[in-house]
Amino acid sequence: MAKLIEGKLVAKKILDNLSDEILFLEKKPCLAVIIAGNDPASKIYVNSKKKKAEELGIKSIVIELPENCTQQEILEKIYTLNNDDSVNAILVQLPLPAHIDTKEVLEKINPIKDVDGLHSYNLGRIASGNKPYSYPCTPMGIIRLLEYYDIAVDGQNAVVIGRSNLVGRPLSYMLLNANATVTTCHSKTKNLAKITGQADILISAAGQKGLVKAGMVKKGAVVIDVGINRQQDGKLCGDVDFWEVEPDVSYITPVPGGVGPMTICSLMQNTFDLYKIQNRI
Ligand code: NAD
């Protein structure tokens, strides 16, 4: 039987420590989130980020823009936040409305305030094996989980399913930087099962329910499920067929309660780290 990787518990431990550190700061860190449009899931995510920040003593600003906002309006908000010394961290909640050029928006965030590490400066630093101001929150959360459970990465075969800038691509580089032998799979990959079957560490970030089944996973592998999908009954599930895969592997994350809480945890930690960098602490 596999050991469960309990992201919820690990995140709580990290955030308890963070809350203690923030308690002693005279001036508190500040996180600004821009949300544009009416995506219900995005609204839920932004509310939970605001709530968590406030619980920890992080000041939180949420800037809401309508679905029909213009590119210029978003860029102006970013410009204002970039130039506001009281704001340490800027997050643009994705996805943005379809008519908005997301790449341009992300590129306009000052890299030193880019709390989700999606600016090409920060992604480029990671790809070149250097330290960015911030690592993207979800990949960072996954690395922290591997560290917490003392799971060796050095020399292991790691397979990442997904190559988005948000998860798969930076995660692949971060695993490579940690000396794993990394294969990144995506929607055009042929013989996915053959590749995943070689993985000592398999991470799925495809957003496809039931993508990873028992026959695709090596015995004793570590399986991290990033996917968030809805089942017919409305409940959340990941990309991995948990009950099929679990008996064969050594570690596995549940969905929910695995990677999700670690993403929010990294967002809070990154906000604090940017505050420290900006205040030379
Ligand atoms: P995305 O749609 O931008 O990227 C998905 C990637 O998966 C693409 O690179 C695509 O090529 C690949 N892919 C899709 N179907 C595939 C298949 N059948 N075989 C191989 N590769 C396939 O999505 P994203 O933003 O990277 O998010 C991926 C999933 O992770 C989503 O379910 C998202 O909701 C979830 N997510 C979870 C968290 C969290 O905190 N738990 C954070 C971010 C994203």
pLDDT single digits (tens) 4-30? 999 999 999 999 999 999 999 999 999
Choose one of 42, 167, 255 to mutate for the ligand 1 pocket test, by most ligand atoms within 8 angstroms of C-beta: 167
pTM of the model: 0.97
Specify the pLDDT at position 280.
94
With bands split at pLDDT 50, 70 and 90, how would you rate the model's confidence at 105?
A: very high
Residue range 27-110, CATH number: 3.40.50.10860
pLDDT at 216 over 90: yes
Pocket lining: 260 vs ligand 1, CB cutoff 6 Å: yes
Q: Check if the beta carbon of residue 138 is closer than 8 Å to that of residue 166.
A: yes
Ligand 1 centroid–CA 46 distance in Å is 19
Specify the pLDDT at position 143.
98
**Percent of the residues in the chain that have a pLDDT greater than 70, as a whole number:** 100
* 27-110 matches 137-260 in fold: yes
Q: Which CATH superfamily is domain 137-260 in?
A: NAD(P)-binding Rossmann-like Domain (3.40.50.720)
pLDDT digits (tens, 9 = 90+) for 26-52: 999 999 999 999 999 999 999 999 999
Q: Check if the beta carbon of residue 205 is closer than 8 Å to that of residue 184.
A: no
Domain boundaries, the chain: 27-110, 137-260
pLDDT at 1 over 90: no
| Enzyme catalytic residues | 49, 93, 116
Pocket lining: 170 vs ligand 1, CB cutoff 6 Å: no
Largest Cα span, the chain:
55
Angstrom distance (rounded) from CA 149 to CA 194: 27
pLDDT at 99 over 90: yes
Partners of 184 in the β-ladder: 160
pLDDT digits (tens, 9 = 90+) for 219-278: 999 999 999 999 999 999 999 999 999 999 999 999 999 999 999 999 999 999 999 999
